């Protein structure tokens, strides 16, 4: 991975953690998801039109199929993630989801894309996995009343992350779909699917706009921007390297949850942060 690609991923990680913080702060459901998706559609439509005019991408039956699969995977991600945030802390659900996702991605990337991992990269991935255990508070934390449900949501989100990451890697590197256009199609697809549900709960949509307007705008802009940056690196870099480096957002998200949402940042999570940083550095070196 090039130095430029690594820096782009770090920028993407910070933006990604920021929109997750805003999403947790809003604590909304489907109405909030529809609202920030509609905002993203408005903001990114001119850019998508520009990409189509300038790059003239070829969109055939296979491209359409992988775009549809990606839309469904991303929609599932948002629905399960938002539900998970209602059940548990940002600093618990977010690290598990973002840690499980790249682990599965790396394993499956070797199988499906024929990618290889160097010893430093493998070491870094293992350090990231170990950090997940510390972030969750260890086995003792899992035995506490009510802690299992948020953990299960985090694991479910991690599985969905692996699925859409592999789909989108294939989309931008093998089927040559421009990163911005792929993300924009995801946005439009999510908007179309959720609009009937939003129409039935229009009073809740108005409530979200009245009370969480800034959060919706922030998530709408930052969510797409963070992923477009990551997809741009996936065009030329192995996904088994991209996925773990993006997870520096776990550290950022946990600090945000601890400092800005008063979720606590105990000794175990400090240790986890150290493992996380070492793991990311090891993957980058690898």
Question: What pLDDT sits at residue 234?
Answer: 92
**Chain segment 2-40, per-residue pLDDT in tens:** 778 888 988 998 898 888 788 877 777 889 989 999 999
Question: What pLDDT sits at residue 188?
Answer: 95
**Percentage with pLDDT > 90 across the chain:** 38
230 and 186 in contact (C-beta within 8 Å)? no
Buried b or exposed e, range 144-176, using 16+ CB within 10 angstroms: eeebeebbebbbbbbebbbbbbbbbbbbbbebe
Question: What pLDDT sits at residue 286?
Answer: 63
3-state SS track over 217-281 = HHHHHHHHHHHHHHHHHHCCCCHHHHHHHHCHHHHHHHHHHHHHCCCCCCHHHHHHHHHHHHHHH
The token pair at 279 is 């793991």
pLDDT of residue 41 exceeding 60: yes
Start-to-end CA distance of the chain, whole Å, equals 9
Each domain of the chain, given as residue ranges in start order, spans 3-285
Report, as an integer, the average pLDDT of 246-266. Answer: 68
pTM as predicted: 0.81
Report, as an integer, the average pLDDT of 82-111. Answer: 77
pLDDT of residue 231 exceeding 60: yes
Find which of 41-50, 149-158, 229-238, 264-273 is predicted with most confidence, using mean pLDDT: 41-50
**Chain segment 232-248, per-residue pLDDT in tens:** 999 988 887 788 777 77
pLDDT of residue 284 exceeding 70: no
């Amino acid at each position: 991975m090039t130095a430029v690609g690594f820096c782009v991923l770090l920028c993407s990680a910070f933006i990604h953690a920021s929109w997750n913080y805003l999403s947790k702060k809003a604590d909304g459901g489907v109405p909030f998801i529809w609202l920030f998706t509609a905002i993203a559609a408005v903001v990114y439509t001119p850019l998508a039109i520009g990409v189509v005019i300038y790059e003239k991408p070829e969109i055939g039956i296979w491209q359409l199929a992988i775009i549809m699969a990606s839309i469904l995977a991303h929609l599932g991600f948002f629905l399960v993630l938002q539900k998970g945030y209602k059940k548990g802390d940002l600093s618990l659900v977010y690290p598990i989801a973002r840690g499980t996702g790249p682990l599965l991605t790396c394993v499956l990337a070797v199988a499906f894309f024929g990618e290889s991992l160097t010893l430093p990269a493998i070491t870094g991935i293992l350090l990231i996995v170990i950090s997940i255990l510390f972030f969750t508070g260890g086995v003792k934390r899992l035995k506490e009343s009510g802690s299992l449900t948020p953990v299960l949501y985090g694991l479910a989100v991690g599985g969905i992350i692996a699925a859409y990451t592999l789909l989108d890697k294939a989309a931008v590197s093998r089927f040559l779909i421009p990163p911005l256009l792929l993300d924009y199609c995801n946005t439009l697809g999510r908007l179309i699917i959720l609009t009937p549900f939003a129409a039935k709960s229009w009073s809740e949509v108005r409530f979200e706009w009245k009370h969480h307007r800034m959060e919706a705008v922030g998530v709408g802009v930052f969510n797409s921007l963070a992923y477009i940056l990551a997809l741009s690196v996936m065009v030329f870099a192995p996904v088994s390297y991209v996925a773990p480096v993006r997870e520096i957002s776990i550290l950022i998200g946990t600090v945000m949850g601890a400092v800005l949402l008063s979720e606590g940042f105990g000794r175990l999570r400090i240790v986890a942060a150290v493992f996380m940083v070492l793991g990311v550095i090891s993957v980058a070196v690898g």
